[in-house]
Structure 1
């Protein structure tokens, strides 16, 4: 991963740290993702589809740490991992200027600015590393997410119709959003 300088701040009497995820975070990250998968339908998988083993999660984190074209950061609240934010993309010449963003935050930490801080950190890292564009997909009913992304400068570029089918058989639509740097 390209260099990422840890960010520390206080919010509502809580110590918050945004930092690179390390291999030692693997077990806690698995627990967090399982929790978040059960809190929202806005992610890309059903809760029972997350089957990452501890070994595979460690390999994933090692890969992120050794790749200077990708980022995987976490937000800790009083020492507990509350959310993640990652950037990845292609190494193909025509696409190398762009990164794809993914973010997830445990519901108990919604609404206190952690998502904004994670996004700012990811955007700054993207700029610092010479990328020119960040893209993401967001469910059209994820109003909190859309509000955050719009606040950060992202714009809707298109709509994917019935792009996800939920376990109950209903479909959702998503926006393709981008931030040009």
Structure 2
């Protein structure tokens, strides 16, 4: 199993992986089938991120198959360039096996190399494994977004979490 920065040649596999993660998870922003991104749109997004000083995508590959990803989306204004917003997804069959920890360790190495200062994310409060992972990796709860998402017919809260480097 390897954690690495994404390559342009991973584009189609990443599109498939994101859709599969969204089908398997109750806590992603988009519901199963909602995302309509094409491989070409995703390729453009990856190219843009790879050309950015403060954005990237890490993927986890096992047996030549992508099984997880972490997007680090850097701020674009001068006042937010020190900060990245994180989106992570891991296939259901591979959760709880240390993959998230490996992704966050690689993210932190990269962020320090880039002299970034703030890592941030949001997480549904009832996503206990996610909250536990983020706390384990040094993230702290900064606040609560009340009724932030509408999932399965009800409003749910999210934590706003961050880690300062």
TM above 0.5: yes
TM superposition score normalised by structure 1:
0.87
Query: How far apart, CA to CA, are the structure 1 residues paired with 2:39 and 2:76?
Result: 27
Gaps of 5+ in 2: none
SS in 2 for 1:48: coil
Q: Is 2:136 the partner of 1:174?
A: no
Q: Deviations over 1:122-178 (max 9, x none)?
A: 011111111111110000011111111000100000001111012x32111100001
Shift of 1:53: 0.9
Q: Tell me how many residue pairs correspond in the alignment.
A: 165
CA RMSD of aligned residues (A): 1.1
SS in 2 for 1:124: helix
Name the counterpart of 1:129.
Answer: 114
- Decide whether the 8 Å contact of 2:54 with 2:116 is kept in 1: no
Pairing 1:150-165 to 2, within 5 Å after superposition: 150-165=135-150
Q: Is 2:114 the partner of 1:141?
A: no
* Greater Rg by CA: 1
Name the counterpart of 2:90.
Answer: 105
Instruction: After the TM superposition, list the runs of 4 or more consecutive aligned residues in structure 1 that deviate by more than 3 angstroms.
Output: none
Name the counterpart of 1:60.
Answer: 45
